[in-house]
Structure 1
Amino acid sequence: MKKKKTVFIEGPVTPQFIADSIAKHQAKYSIGAHNIFLGQVRADKVEDNTVSAIEFSCYPEMAEKKLEEIREKAFEKYNLTCMHIYHSLGKVNVGEICFFVFVSAPHRTQVYDATEDIVNMVKSEVPIFGKEIFENEMHQWKVNNN
């Protein structure tokens, strides 16, 4: 039976989690390249309000199914050794990491293209929702832009 991957992390993705993820791959000697995408919460201005945090939620069963499809597509299309997707749930403050994609392959050309594809598919296809919380405690649902 295939081990179920952890995708969702409560709160921000910490620098220590990212460092530990990289360190775990040092024993995989077929890897020649890694590429990482980190999504960080911005202090966007919406009218006269400034975002102070985003509260992420999802439909776990739907999101995990879609993430598994994205994972399978990536392995079919690219010669990858490893591929990991992590996304925050709950509140993530401005400046903190909420989205971490980590791709490894024998050669660098594969990791660049794969990372971009994976990030774009996650942002456009996975039912993860962000409620922008403003400094004045008002909020609105985030619309994903590029």
Structure 2
Amino acid sequence: MKTEADNKLFVHIQEELIDPKQGDEFVRHPAAGAINVFVGTTRNHHEGETVLDLYYDCYVDMAVKELRKIGLDVVNTFELEKAWIVHRIGRVPIGEASIVVAVSAAHRKQVFEATAEIMNRIKKDVPIWKKETFEDKTVWKEEKLVKGNSEK
């Protein structure tokens, strides 16, 4: 799909499975005493209903631009050695990763806070839309109901 990378930051959007080991490998650095790898997966429930799968869509160029902006800001703010952010689009079945964020820094507090900041800002600022398929309906994150269940 689309990638933006340099020696401190890697951001990517893809349709394929995400391998968290690649994030771990990218962020390793001799000055890093802490590495955090966060894997966000599709769960089988939401607000008491059974979820069958998720579907993500986006305008790839804009989403990558925003991911890079967030990544650069967080790398600088939290003095990270490196950051790796990969988001999946398309159908994401139960148990599979929709996002992986890996960061490294001198200390654990930095990596925990940086990971939370990245995730919060992605949910708030990045134009990636999520559709949840339930047993009897399909709902976009914005709570717009899509009639039927034809896109399973």
Q: TM-score range by the shorter chain?
A: 0.7 to 0.9
Amino acid at match of 1:7: H
Aligned to 1:9: 14
TM-score w.r.t. length of structure 1:
0.81
Contact 2:11–2:84 (CA under 8 A) maintained in structure 1: no
Number of residue equivalences: 137
Q: CA deviation at 1:50?
A: 2.1
List alignment gaps of at least 5 residues for structure 1.
Answer: none
> 1:8, 1:87 within 8 Å by CA — same for their partners in 2?
yes
Deviation at 1:64, TM superposition (A): 1.4
CA contact (8 A) 2:70 2:121 kept: yes
1:37 maps to 2:43: no
Mapped to 2, the partners of 1:45 and 1:38 lie a distance apart of 18
Taking a change above 3 Å as real, the CA distance of residues 122 and 45 of structure 1, as seen in their structure-2 partners, is: closer
> How high is the TM-score relative to the length of structure 2?
0.78
Q: How does 1:45-84 map to 2 (within 5 A)?
A: 45=46, 50-84=50-84
Q: Report the CA distance between 1:46 and its aligned residue.
A: 5.9
**CA distance, structure 1, for counterparts of residue 11 and residue 77 of structure 2:** 23
Q: Is the 8 A contact 2:53 2:91 kept in 1?
A: yes
Q: What's the RMSD between the two structures over aligned residues?
A: 2.3
Q: Paired residue for 2:138?
A: 139
The structure, 1 or 2, with the larger RCO (C-alpha pairs under 8 Å, 6+ apart) is 1
Instruction: Please report how far the alpha carbon of residue 12 of structure 1 lies from its aligned counterpart in structure 2 after TM superposition.
Output: 3.5
- Alignment correspondent of 1:110: 110
CA distance in 2, matches of 1:32, 1:111: 10
Percent of counterpart pairs with the same letter?
33
Q: Any idea what SS the aligned residue of 1:7 has?
A: strand
Gap regions ≥5 residues in structure 2: 144-152
Inter-partner Cα distance in structure 2 for 1:65 and 1:140: 26
